[in-house]
Copies of this chain bind each other. A is one copy, B any other.
Amino acid sequence: MAERSSGAGAARAVLQRCVRATLQVRPAEHQAPAQFVQIDRGMVIYVCFFKGATDDILPKMVSTLLNLRLCESDSGKMVSVLELPGSLLVVPQATLGGKAKGRAMQYHNNIGKEDGLRLYSAFVSLCEKELTAATAAAGNVAEVTVKHGTPSSVVRGHRTVKARTVVQQCR
């Protein structure tokens, strides 16, 4: 989706619909096997908050993302993930806020760690609320869930899963 203005905005999300998605949230260590969260049909949301982002943006942000008609129903109609109904896998992805400085990436516009964590948690809660409400309203008993990694879990799993997503605008 193209930018809405010249500013960096308050947040950036990359949406990827899926028939199944798995996120490693903890690598194998010592005797403990690696841990994963997984969803079936639905959407993966990679999200990153920028400096200046506040809780105010979350309701509209969640509503926009979950109501976009990006998914195909069984009949081939374009519907939202709420209408599908599909599950959500939310991934904190600070690298989405990166800017290239030469060959290196810089993250000066990213929000601070604590504020980012708080916003991320609130974002996940809102997604859960919206998805639960939509599923209940439709009288749907399909098992749809919101799964997510935490910034620390993703960082811990980094070496193994190499999760890292970047958006590059080219002129």
Contact = CB atoms under 8 A, between A and B. Distances in A.
Contact of A6 (B5, B97, B160): B5
Interface residues of A, number: 58
Interface string A12-46: 11111111000000000000000000000100000
B11 A170 contact: yes
Interface of A: 1-19, 41, 57, 60-61, 64-65, 67-72, 76, 78, 80, 95-100, 103-105, 109, 158-171
B68 A162 contact: no
A9 B98 CA distance: 17
Contact of A105 (B70, B98, B160, B162): B70
Given A5-B6, A6-B5, A109-B2, A169 B12 contact: yes
Given A69-B103, A103-B69, A105-B69, A1 B162 contact: no
B3 A3 contact: yes
Contact of A171 (B9, B159, B164): B9
The CB with the most chain B CB atoms within 10 A, among A65, A169, A170, is that of: A170
Contacts of A18: 162
Contact of A8 (B3, B68, B103, B166): B3
Contact of A19 (B2, B11, B161, B171): B161
A103 B6 contact: no
B16 A165 contact: yes
A141 to B, nearest CB: 22
A17 B164 contact: yes
A169 B170 CA distance: 17
